[in-house]
Amino acid sequence: MKKLRVEALTKQAFAPFGDVIELEGAKQIPINLGTTIRFHDLAKIDIADESGRPLVNLFRGEPRSLPFEVKMLERHPLGSQAFVPLNDKPYLVVVAPAGELDESKIRAFVTSGWQGVNYAKGVWHHPLLALGEVTDFIVVDRGGDGLNLNEQDLKESLWLTESQPV
């Protein structure tokens, strides 16, 4: 069984794949007569290729059980895709760099709960991997013309056996 090491999700570790969406370190702007704090510009949303338009969706993820077999990855070549959880439950993120899929560069991360992710355009990733319970996510995605989904089976499955960093 080929195992994939699970890492803690940090901005630095995830930078080759997109943005970590979190409040820590974000620019804060008081608005609405000082009654609201705006955490500004948390992710680089990239959806303009081929006249793309923004979509705001809610995804409801069924929990996955560990060990979990990673058999495939997908990518969105025309736009980024941001996932923002609506609770503080950790979930798993499996990614590989944009371009031709290089299975030797697949990485797995576990979030601290409230962290979101924004997959950069063309970054390979596994579909949503909620843990423990049904989890809702706001997803900012690209709509419009053009083929914006590629799926690819892995030559050899990878197994996620730990939800915590090892």
pLDDT digits (tens, 9 = 90+) for 18-53: 999 999 999 999 999 999 999 999 999 999 999 999
18 domain-assigned: yes
Domain that holds residue 54: 6-160
16 domain-assigned: yes
Q: pTM for the full model? A: 0.93
Asked if residue 166 has pLDDT above 50, the reply is: no
Interatomic CA distance for residues 126 and 107, integer angstroms: 11
Are 31 and 132 in contact by the 8 Å Cβ rule? The answer is no
For range 107-115, the mean pLDDT: 95
Are 19 and 118 in contact by the 8 Å Cβ rule? The answer is yes
DSSP state of 26: -
Average confidence score pLDDT of the chain: 95
Q: Which of 163, 160, 125 is nearest to 2 (CA)?
A: 160
* CATH code (residue 82): 2.60.120.480
166 domain-assigned: no
115 domain-assigned: yes
161 phi/psi in degrees, rounded to 5: -115, -10
Identify the band that residue 163 occupies on the pLDDT scale cut at 50, 70 and 90: low
1 domain-assigned: no
Asked if residue 88 has pLDDT above 50, the reply is: yes
Count the domains in the chain.
1
